[in-house]
Structure 1
Amino acid sequence: MRILFVALSKETKTGARYTEEIIRQALSERHEVEFLYPNLRGDARLTSLLYLSCFGYLPLLKRGLYDLVFTSDNFVFADVVYVQPPAGQDAVLTWDEMLFTKSSKGHFRLLPALANSPLKTLISAHAQFITNSNYSREVVRRNFGKDAFVIYPPVPTHLYQSLESNRENLIVTISGLNPRKNLGLIAEVGIKIPEAKFILLGYYHKVHVHILEHIQARFRTSGLGTNFVYVPSCPAKVKAKILSRAKVYFHPTPFEPFGISIAEGMAAGCIPVTHDSGGPCEFVPGEWRYRSVEDAIAKIRYALETWNIRRATEFRSLALRFEEGRFRNEILDFVEEKFSRSCRMAGKLKPKDALAFSGGES
């Protein structure tokens, strides 16, 4: 099968892009896959915005050359869309929100607004949706008026083959600097737990450096400047080593669609303390989900006091169901079933041939 894989970036900086990379690898194992990315040159912002506003339509022009078009960017024309919404209760799946941000002004907002409406209608009518959680499934229903098939995202559980029993009073958060991630809560909670250290790991966004500066300032003015450490864009092995020293993984973001980093913290043996909303409700036990700042502080303190290797092993077991191999198989099964079904409907493939395509009878 010839597949066109469309994406807005080749760089793996976030959980969403990590998932995208695993999808690309899985599809390439069995099929001929070609990739389509924006080709941006120069620093002209208006030119770049104009190009990106039109990029979502480009796969439609190339559709006849491929058996299937796949994307994980939900503002791109495709046959199959793996939807990974932004965090936040008010999440909407549009170019304006996800690509150009709400801070865009004037004509910079007009371009995506003009591009979004017809593209959204086109995608709604044509695409089949996969989502990374049941919560995200509802986001798709709200935005596109269509149902979706849930395939939980991959988690790099292979980085944690064994659990460290000697742990520090260390709380880890993994997140890029992003206004939607509510990272200021790290400081609000951290200054109330002086007996513990907090580490923030994640991609450094220069445009949002004020978020980091705010957190650092809150710790410093409370006399706890050494209790907070920021580690930007660290390698996977460094991340795994830090998580394996920690007792708690703290996620300050409400209405997270899934939370790959939460599940990764669990795989490392950390107790997850997450907001009681969004996708994490589907795999984080209720006793560790908070609803207020005071609740978060209490749960983190309790986690620090009660962490033990038995509890760490239980959380690791919960996370292992999201391992990468499971995700690869489920994505391939979905794509190949869709291709077989499409061929049968078009009269190109008989039922027995479709059975052979999927690997024969079990």
Structure 2
Amino acid sequence: MKEIKVAVIAHGLGMSRGYSGEGNVYYTVFEMLKERNIDFVAVSFSKPYDISIPSIYSIPFHLTRFDKYQRLLVYFSAKKVKPKLFFNASGILIPLSKIAPHIVYAGAPAISSVPSKYTRSLFWKLYLLPFKAILSNIKDEAKRAKIIANSFYSAKAIAETFEITQPQVIYPPVDVEFFSKAYHLGYRENMFVTIARFERGKMIENSLIFSSMSGIKGVIIGNLNDRKYFNELSKLKEKLKVDVKFLPNLPREEVLKYLSKAKIYFHPTIGEHFGIPIVEAMASGVIPIVPKESGSSELVPDFSYQNIEDAVRIAKDILVKDVSNLSKEMHEMAMSFHKNVFKKKIHEVISNYLM
């Protein structure tokens, strides 16, 4: 077997075919390595859906659940290869530095104190207990590995959790070229779009409450990951009597249609490490309203809300304006998140290990 220069830890390849922000990081890294003629292999715990990528995995079938634990279990797949470098796009400090240099691209740790589904209910707190115990035993990896954070919000949480110096920040790649197809300075409707997977941790109920309190119609777009939660949202929608459409598993080209219509993008997820859909919306010329408690507030602090009442006030202020100048400003800001910027910065980091 020829020498593998980079093993890319990408646990999610065996979990879903669907488009996601983390998946976009995987494929942008793969693309960069191919362009630079750097031999690589992808490493997942379960069998990847995409068989075109050279891969190593441990179980011969797809496993769509236990995301957090697959991020740990992928260690057993990684042990099968000895590359010059591990690039860990799954963001968990599995103990790989003893095998080869280990770069971790990470968001705020699930064991940190930042708000998430793991801090909101007893079920999720219990779910995370073994995960916390395992991570507490491998904290030294934070001192051995090189960590890159996906936002300053994440960098602060990483530093506090693992008691290390605040790591370097490289914002994730966004397909701004694709979403720029929806950009225009013409008429837009008084409506909002939310893009988030239909799963409990995304807090989509906040979008329904936002619609109820503001009277603004909207659409919610995302992969359907949790049918029970989707049904709960449907009941809440009926109870609140809001004009909101659910559009699960919508093709990406169809997403553009709604982004080209809307004035506002509303992001419901408190504690989001970054929020790639927010930049996608900005590239489309849509004005985002985002939680203050999130990495996305770094991008648009003037459109960040403390609570839903705050979000409603911001939205109503936007709707009475001619938004063309704001749309142009958002679009231009989004261009700095082009995937080529990410590729260049990541290559600058990994090249130091490949000489």
**TM-score above 0.5, yes or no:** yes
1:201-260 deviation per Cα after TM superposition (whole angstroms, max 9, x unaligned):
11112243244224422333xxx4xx1101112222111221111100111222221111
Give the TM-score of the pair, scaled to structure 1.
0.79
Summarize deviations over 1:258-281 as a string: whole Å, max 9, x none: 111111111111111112232122
Paired residue for 2:32?
A: 26
Which runs of structure 2 are paired with 1:1-362 in the superposition (5 Å)?
2-10=5-13, 11=16, 12-30=18-36, 31-39=38-46, 40=59, 52=70, 55-58=73-76, 61-62=79-80, 65-75=82-92, 76-78=94-96, 79-85=102-108, 90-91=113-114, 103=123, 112=131, 115-118=134-137, 120-146=138-164, 147-159=166-178, 160-161=180-181, 162-194=183-215, 196-205=216-225, 206-220=227-241, 224=242, 227-286=243-302, 288-340=303-355
Q: How many residues align?
A: 325
8 A contact 1:184–1:211 mirrored in 2 = no
Counterpart secondary structure, 1:57: helix
CA distance in 2, matches of 1:140, 1:235: 35
Report the AA paired with residue 153 of structure 2.
Answer: Y
SS at match of 1:69: strand
Report the 3-state secondary structure (helix = DSSP H, G, I; strand = E; otherwise coil) of the residue aligned with 1:303: helix
Which letter maps to 1:26?
A: M
Runs of 5+ consecutive residues of structure 1 not aligned to the other structure: 341-362
Relative to structure 1, the CA distance from residue 87 to residue 263 in structure 2 (aligned partners, 3 Å threshold; closer, same or farther) is: farther
Q: CA RMSD, aligned part only?
A: 3.4
Higher Cα radius of gyration:
1
Q: Partner of 1:141: helix, strand, or coil?
A: helix
Work out whether residues 185 and 328 of structure 2, in 8 Å CA contact, stay in contact via their aligned partners in 1: no
Whole-angstrom CA distance in 2 between matches of 1:43 and 1:9? 10
Q: 1:219 to 1:4 in 2, by over 3 A?
A: same
Q: Which amino acid in 1 is paired with 2:271?
A: F
Q: Percent identity, please.
A: 24
> For the residues of structure 1 that align with 2:115 and 2:301, how far apart are their CA atoms?
27
Could you list the runs of 5+ residues in structure 2 that have no partner in the other structure? Answer: 47-58, 97-101
Residue 360 (structure 1) aligns with? none
CA distance in 2, matches of 1:315, 1:331: 25
Q: Following TM superposition, by how much is the alpha carbon of 1:175 offset from its aligned partner in structure 2, in angstroms?
A: 0.7
Q: 1:113 to 1:141 in 2, by over 3 A?
A: closer
> Could you say if the C-alpha distance between residues 250 and 281 of structure 1 is closer, same or farther in structure 2, counting changes exceeding 3 Å?
same
Tell me: CA distance 1:176–1:87, structure 2 relative to 1, closer, same or farther (3 Å). farther
